[in-house]
Chain A
């Protein structure tokens, strides 16, 4: 992996929410690397901060949230003096959330697809109007040309009869079709990064399969990177090449997708994997005990983070007086495999 492959590098991102009840450290020092053309899966349950991380990347954090620290380096490909291949490094964390620069990035270089397609689209404008708006804004082409591009995009997302759908309103489409329309909107300007925040959670499993398949083929065609956020480990296995596991605002494990399933190191990751029903075992061993290895306890109150490692109260391998006192550092337990856990910290970090 050379430097040239890196598209986005998030370093020590901190995003806090200032509520009347207290401060919630939604993202507490997250490090992520998104590589060009590859899919990074971000796995975690509710409250782990994965969605806020992606919103931070686009400076879309809603009030009363605020990015309090860290860097988000975007290696933006530019054309200068007629020669492509130049890279501009922009720290998104330093950009003004309302400024021109971030608006130039949103929808253009980095796009986002959300979970609920119905609320992602304006109900009173046609699909075509919403797609072309983005194209005209960023590429400055004429309305007619933008419409051509929009129809082309709808065809690419395998929408049946794109020239008719382009004049439909969102309520006229089914859930799966709406999600395709949203994807078409997001990709209309050929971004180099697509952020997908649980895009298939609200869909039926057969529609989900179609959308996942679509996203993989589009990635092939356009060569874009995908930041795929989900809580579904099955989807991660299907879509991601690299995986990051988050818990309470921190990244606790980071490696490629094969390793995360075959050799998970962090107790939380292992807990997650053992608590999901594994279809293989269910079918091939129908008589074995039907108990899942659940993680005990619950996610702690976000206003009172436990001292030390946030997972310590629930961890089956907790080391008393260490895990509940000192926060573990991120170490490279194996080449390309990072864990934030005291069990592995006698291995020196890279």
Chain B
């Protein structure tokens, strides 16, 4: 079966399955289309959703950052630049003090005093030389994934050995860490906690939803009522109590895993309902009865006739539950009951931005919020696109 895209994708996509006779007659033209299996059709339909395409790209970038965080970050996230703590984001310029145009660069910083508060502050030293931002710079040592040592970073500032020009694109926090590097590393936790949680939820949801939908009766009633109760509980307080019960002295990884489990408690419910609903409707379809009359075994009927019918719905449900997980972890960690320093996650970083004074004086500490928002939005767009494409055979 050919997997090539048809010649003119925009023209080819087709509202098939629709009972309107306007589109009922089959065309003789595109054999590719006639031989296209379910996933091919889903893909073509998905490609029409503009926002979902954007979301795919953005999320792709995010996850590349997650994988190559060590390489992409300009600095080691744990490294403290004591002299340069709580620094506002440096001014990345393209036009220098004399008005000349250069590629992106920064000036060095010189220490001074704030005129009013008399506190030491750093200011741009426009008399110093221009430090262009270059790619592939040697910098802090790291071990990629803990295995491969290197000191090559994606971008940075080339400096003489004795001078130091801080490239804090999003500023630094109270301990002198580079915000951007920490955000990149924080992505590793924040964006993967969601995935793990979702896989746990997937199995629970599939099995319990499957039992409810396939067997019906008492099992169905019990499972549905349990779901009703769980969904009625307020999530944040429940998460908080469970997370607060975790011992403080556990290693990071263990805490991380259990936080994931806690987040999945609610995740499976929505999926279970989706699975059950689809199973109930698919059971009544004529083609399922035809399969039974053909002599297909129950196992075959589930795997070949019913399961493909809702696999795409499962994917949609899962995609749309990831934002909840991300927000959940961020909230828990922000409130201090999820992950804790020295673990780096976006929620943990936000612990520093808990009072108004901080936020007013050092607003750049809130940058992780922007990343959370973008991640959540992108997953929602992706989920929307998938949902529209999920059943290519349904009318409308």
A47 touches B27 (CB 8 A): no
Chain A residues whose C-beta falls within 8 Å of the C-beta of B11 in the assembled complex? 20-22
- Segment of B17-25, B81-89, B210-218, B378-386 in the binding face: B17-25
B203: interface (CB < 8 Å): no
Chain B: residues with Cβ within 8 Å of the partner, total of 14
A299: interface (CB < 8 Å): yes
A303: interface (CB < 8 Å): yes
B164: interface (CB < 8 Å): no
Chain A residues whose C-beta falls within 8 Å of the C-beta of B14 in the assembled complex? 21
A47 touches B24 (CB 8 A): yes
A302: interface (CB < 8 Å): yes
A109-163, CB < 8 A from B: none
Chain B residues whose C-beta falls within 8 Å of the C-beta of A26 in the assembled complex? 22
Chain B residues whose C-beta falls within 8 Å of the C-beta of A47 in the assembled complex? 21-22, 24-25
A295: interface (CB < 8 Å): no
Complex Cα distance, B12 from A298, in Å, reads 21
Q: Report the minimal beta-carbon distance from B245 to chain A, rounded to whole angstroms.
A: 48
Q: What mask results when residues 1 to 35 of chain B are scored 1 for a CB within 8 Å of chain A, else 0?
A: 00000000011111100000111111110000000
A24 touches B25 (CB 8 A): no
B22 touches A302 (CB 8 A): yes
A303 touches B21 (CB 8 A): no
A301 touches B25 (CB 8 A): yes
A302 touches B25 (CB 8 A): yes
Chain A residues whose C-beta falls within 8 Å of the C-beta of B23 in the assembled complex? 21, 302
Q: Which of A17, A45, A304 is in CB contact (< 8 Å) with B27? A: A304
Chain B residues whose C-beta falls within 8 Å of the C-beta of A302 in the assembled complex? 22-23, 25
A308: interface (CB < 8 Å): no
Complex Cα distance, B10 from A294, in Å, reads 37
Q: Report the minimal beta-carbon distance from A232 to chain B, rounded to whole angstroms.
A: 16
A298 touches B25 (CB 8 A): yes
A46: interface (CB < 8 Å): yes
A300: interface (CB < 8 Å): yes
Q: Given contacts A301-B26, A303-B27, is CB(A46)–CB(B21) below 8 Å?
A: yes
Q: What mask results when residues 177 to 190 of chain B are scored 1 for a CB within 8 Å of chain A, else 0?
A: 00000000000000
Chain B residues whose C-beta falls within 8 Å of the C-beta of A24 in the assembled complex? 22
Q: What mask results when residues 288 to 302 of chain A are scored 1 for a CB within 8 Å of chain B, else 0?
A: 000000000011111
Complex Cα distance, B28 from A17, in Å, reads 22
Q: Report the minimal beta-carbon distance from A218 to chain B, rounded to whole angstroms.
A: 30
Complex Cα distance, B22 from A26, in Å, reads 8
A300 touches B25 (CB 8 A): yes
Chain A: residues with Cβ within 8 Å of the partner, total of 17
Complex Cα distance, B15 from A303, in Å, reads 13
Chain B residues whose C-beta falls within 8 Å of the C-beta of A22 in the assembled complex? 11
Q: Report the minimal beta-carbon distance from A231 to chain B, rounded to whole angstroms.
A: 11
Q: Which of A17, A20, A298 is in CB contact (< 8 Å) with B22? A: A17
Chain B residues whose C-beta falls within 8 Å of the C-beta of A45 in the assembled complex? 21
Residue of B nearest to A24 (CB): B22
Q: Report the minimal beta-carbon distance from B48 to chain A, rounded to whole angstroms.
A: 8
Q: Report the minimal beta-carbon distance from B149 to chain A, rounded to whole angstroms.
A: 54
Complex Cα distance, B26 from A304, in Å, reads 11
A20 touches B25 (CB 8 A): no
Complex Cα distance, B26 from A301, in Å, reads 7
Complex Cα distance, B25 from A46, in Å, reads 10
B27 touches A20 (CB 8 A): no
Q: Which of B15, B24, B27 is in CB contact (< 8 Å) with A46? A: B24
A21 touches B21 (CB 8 A): no
B27 touches A301 (CB 8 A): yes
Q: Report the minimal beta-carbon distance from B283 to chain A, rounded to whole angstroms.
A: 25
Complex Cα distance, B27 from A17, in Å, reads 18
Complex Cα distance, B13 from A65, in Å, reads 19
A21 touches B22 (CB 8 A): no
Complex Cα distance, B25 from A300, in Å, reads 6
Complex Cα distance, B24 from A46, in Å, reads 9
Complex Cα distance, B262 from A291, in Å, reads 69
Residue of B nearest to A22 (CB): B11
Q: Which of A19, A21, A299 is in CB contact (< 8 Å) with B24? A: A299
Q: Report the minimal beta-carbon distance from B14 to chain A, rounded to whole angstroms.
A: 6
Residue of A nearest to B10 (CB): A20
Complex Cα distance, B44 from A21, in Å, reads 14
Chain A residues whose C-beta falls within 8 Å of the C-beta of B10 in the assembled complex? 20
Chain B residues whose C-beta falls within 8 Å of the C-beta of A303 in the assembled complex? 27
B114-136, CB < 8 A from A: none
Complex Cα distance, B40 from A282, in Å, reads 49
Complex Cα distance, B25 from A21, in Å, reads 14
Complex Cα distance, B27 from A304, in Å, reads 9
Chain A residues whose C-beta falls within 8 Å of the C-beta of B21 in the assembled complex? 45-47, 299
Chain B residues whose C-beta falls within 8 Å of the C-beta of A17 in the assembled complex? 22
Chain B residues whose C-beta falls within 8 Å of the C-beta of A299 in the assembled complex? 21, 24-25
Q: Report the minimal beta-carbon distance from A61 to chain B, rounded to whole angstroms.
A: 13
Complex Cα distance, B212 from A318, in Å, reads 60
Q: Report the minimal beta-carbon distance from B102 to chain A, rounded to whole angstroms.
A: 47
Complex Cα distance, B15 from A17, in Å, reads 14
Complex Cα distance, B28 from A299, in Å, reads 13
Q: Report the minimal beta-carbon distance from B187 to chain A, rounded to whole angstroms.
A: 37
Q: Which of B13, B25, B26 has the most CB of A within 10 A?
A: B25
Chain A residues whose C-beta falls within 8 Å of the C-beta of B24 in the assembled complex? 46-47, 299
Q: Report the minimal beta-carbon distance from A241 to chain B, rounded to whole angstroms.
A: 28
Complex Cα distance, B11 from A303, in Å, reads 11
The 6 closest A-B pairs by CB, nearest first: A46-B21, A47-B21, A301-B25, A301-B27, A302-B22, A299-B25
The contact sample of 26 A-B pairs, CB cut-off 8 A, is A17-B22, A19-B15, A20-B10, A20-B11, A21-B12, A21-B13, A21-B14, A21-B23, A22-B11, A24-B22, A26-B22, A46-B21, A46-B24, A47-B25, A298-B25, A299-B21, A299-B24, A299-B25, A300-B25, A301-B25, A301-B27, A301-B28, A302-B22, A302-B23, A302-B25, A303-B27
**Chain B residues proximal to chain A, CB less than 8 Å:** 10-15, 21-28
**Chain A residues proximal to chain B, CB less than 8 Å:** 17, 19-22, 24, 26, 45-47, 298-304
**Extra 18 A-B pairs, beta carbons < 8 Å, given A22-B11, A47-B25:** A19-B15, A20-B11, A21-B12, A21-B13, A24-B22, A26-B22, A46-B21, A47-B21, A47-B24, A298-B25, A299-B21, A299-B25, A300-B25, A301-B26, A301-B27, A301-B28, A302-B22, A304-B27
